[in-house]
Amino acid sequence: MKSLKEYIKEAEEKKVAIGHFNVANLEMLWGTFNAARSLDLPIIIGVSESERNFIGLNQIIALVKSLREEYDYPIFLNADHHKSFEKVKEAIDAGFDAVIFDGVELSFDENIKITKQCVEYARKQNNGTLVEAELGFIGSGSDIKDEIPDGAELKTKPEEAKKFVEETGIDLLAPSVGNIHGIIKTGNPKLDLNLISEIRKSAGIPLVLHGGSGISDEDFIKAIKVGISIIHISTELRIAYKNALKLSFQDNPEELAPYKILKPVVQIIQKIVEKRLKLFNNIG
């Protein structure tokens, strides 16, 4: 099986993007995995610090590894938005395929310092773990926001991206290009496509689009063409999970079996992930 790095390179060459979907439990994992298998596409499973704590660090590793081995399938695991070297180190040691050091709240120099520390540690382990970092303001929280948060205008500068990559040696970069984590009630801002293109050229490494929920299909398609290779989706799945679970309880108030109550949740997650993967991979 090819490595995650090889799949990302292949995605760049084909002008498609790999879907990255955050999960918090087994239902979300199965829904996402079933969608990927139905389309025969590689998939990245993401867990934030809180999500990995809820599932269990070693448990999420075991779950993803079991799916990869049993089905001989390219499913990869990413430690999403880890905010300290210590947490990144734990993920690398546990066997994650990729890690993200989220240092956007730090100064530019401090972000470089800790990111470089993460990269150097990953390289010493020599297990192929990719290291990603963020640069610019993308906000926080996979939730629904009343309005665009303050700081959204602070986009990543191409020259800073170039310097950041050169000084840290990261494998992937998540820039701020008009994307915001979560969904904005008044409408998410449009992506700055020219900026994405400029950053990809100056950074020289694959780019990751965070805050995918709420972005228009048109912007997704254009962003992939100009340099985005991985797209994160989380809030959209959380909303669907909550709504499907609520409806399941309403439709079956006397049902006690969790596997029956939760079946519609798995199905709606699969449906949404399939739709996103088709879009990201220019299918249909």
Return the active site residues: 80
Is the Cβ–Cβ distance between 88 and 96 less than 8 Å?
Answer: no
| First-last CA distance in the chain | 26
Positive or negative CA dihedral for 24, 180, 219, 243? positive
Side chain identity at 120, as an amino acid letter?
A: E
